[in-house]
Amino acid sequence: MQSHASVVVVGAGQAGLSISSLLKLREIDHVVLERHRVAHAWRSARWDSFCLVTPNWQCRLPGYQYAGDDPHGFMVKDDIVRYIEDFAASFAPPLYEGVDVTKVALRADGRGFEVATSAGNVSADQVVVAVGGYHVATLPRMSERIPAGVVQLHSSAYKNPESLPEGDVLVVGTGQSGAQIAEDLHLAGRRVHLCVGSAPRTARRYRGKDVVEWLDQLGYYDLSVDDHPLKEGVRAKANHYVTGRDGGRDIDLRKFALEGMRLYGRLKDVSGTMLAFGNDLKANLDRADEVSESIKTTIDRFIEQQGIDAPVEARYVPVWEPQGEIADLDMESAGITSVIWCMGFHADFRWIDVPVFDGKGYPWHRRGVTNVEGLYFLGLPWLYTWGSGRFSGVARDAAHIAEKIEARHESPSRDGTHALNALAIGS
């Protein structure tokens, strides 16, 4: 591997490959360093039946939009990996796989960055961190109190129902992963005990179209984090649960309950074999439905304002209501032999020794451009829009950063130093 590059890109997922394709188009010397293989997270940290929850037509990597025969379908895991691999093959990035980046720091002379890797050090004028924001699996400390004989997995390690021991399964969390894994187990005939959190849900289709298509027409996916009502707070919000499985459908936890799934409130504590739940199951189910129906109301208003001829559709009516709240459960008596923690991830950027982080370890940036010249982030959730960490929006962010890189590549700072910008950067 070369000892210097104008730009070092860390990560070879959709974000890293997107910026690489644009840098290559601009003939800017760079390398892409990947700890594992291209599309590693899609390949290795997803369950067997995993599929996209957004339609294939939203896959819009730079110059490489989805071109298959099912634009309104949802790619399964192997097809997602193939899509990313084919994108990489289409422009042959200067890629080094199996190279672990262990540190990024400013050079002592102030001229660029020093990037320490498992294959040696490489200096760079500019660095793009394109490793997303999901690095460390989140496990609550109460997991330490689960009896030793019970198998515990984080959602990223779950593969299929057959890989779990016989018996009931406790799934903790109802974000996208928790709801879909619970569905996967339920469809396989496993009895699931699901701890329902506060994540919202959305309908898959409404008034003749996928809800994603309506939201696209509404301009929601062009809404920047600066213009969002929640501002930066939107980055901490859970994604709406829905599925693209079998052509796409709603995930209705109430329907699962009718079919035998056991629903509880939020998991509060573990003591021996006893589980304690919050008194919030009904509130969480109701709130998820309210969010779904509010999206429909927004779509109704848009249809009316635009004079669109769309079929009228009846609103959702709850098919099941909890008969009281269950406060506790004995895992042993219930026959629970496995626990799957679907609590998400948290970012870990400790390997970046550059002063660009806030008190929570999140990088200060404006659309991926930090307050240290030449250092950029790409692929973070809501880096700029809803699609920033997804196939739908990462190309737009990559183009913005590529322009910044090109401008600095052609006109470097006169003294070569990384003076902090005077601007207050916080989004």
Of 223, 233, 170, the C-alpha closest to 360 is: 233
Residues 298-316: pLDDT tens digits? 999 999 999 999 999 999 9
Choice among 34-38, 168-172, 231-235, 250-254 with the minimum mean pLDDT? 231-235
The tokens of 374 are what? 């030449």
Helical H segments across 45-190, by residue range: 77-91, 176-187
Nearest-angstrom CA–CA distance, 5 and 99: 15
The tokens of 288 are what? 């998820």
- What sign does the CA torsion over 223, 229, 232, 237 have? negative
For residue 298, the SS3 value is helix
Ramachandran region, residue 219 (left: φ > 0; alpha: ψ -120 to 50; beta: rest): left
Higher per-residue pLDDT: 275 or 361: 275
Give me the torsion for CA of 378, 383, 388, 393, rounded to 10°. Answer: -100
Contact 10, 127 (CB under 8 A): yes
Contact 376, 405 (CB under 8 A): yes
Please state the pTM of the whole predicted model: 0.92
Report whether pLDDT(197) > 50: yes
**Max intra-chain CA distance, the chain:** 72
Contact 8, 20 (CB under 8 A): no
Region 75-103: mean pLDDT is: 97
**Which pLDDT belongs to residue 413?**
54
For residue 338, the SS3 value is strand
What are the contacts of 138-146 at 24+ separation with CB within 8 A? 138/341, 138/343, 138/344, 138/345, 138/346, 139/341, 139/343, 140/341, 140/343, 142/267, 142/269, 142/270, 143/270, 143/339, 143/341, 145/270, 145/271, 145/272, 146/270, 146/331, 146/339
Residue ranges of domains in the chain, CATH in brackets: 4-135+347-410 (3.50.50.60), 136-341 (3.50.50.60)
Considering the chain, what percentage of its residues have pLDDT values greater than 90? 85
**Which pLDDT belongs to residue 346?**
87
Nearest-angstrom CA–CA distance, 94 and 33: 9
Report whether pLDDT(240) > 70: yes
**Which pLDDT belongs to residue 238?**
83
Ramachandran region, residue 198 (left: φ > 0; alpha: ψ -120 to 50; beta: rest): alpha
Report whether pLDDT(416) > 90: no
Report whether pLDDT(423) > 90: no
Half-sphere exposure of 25 (CA within 13 A, CB side): 14
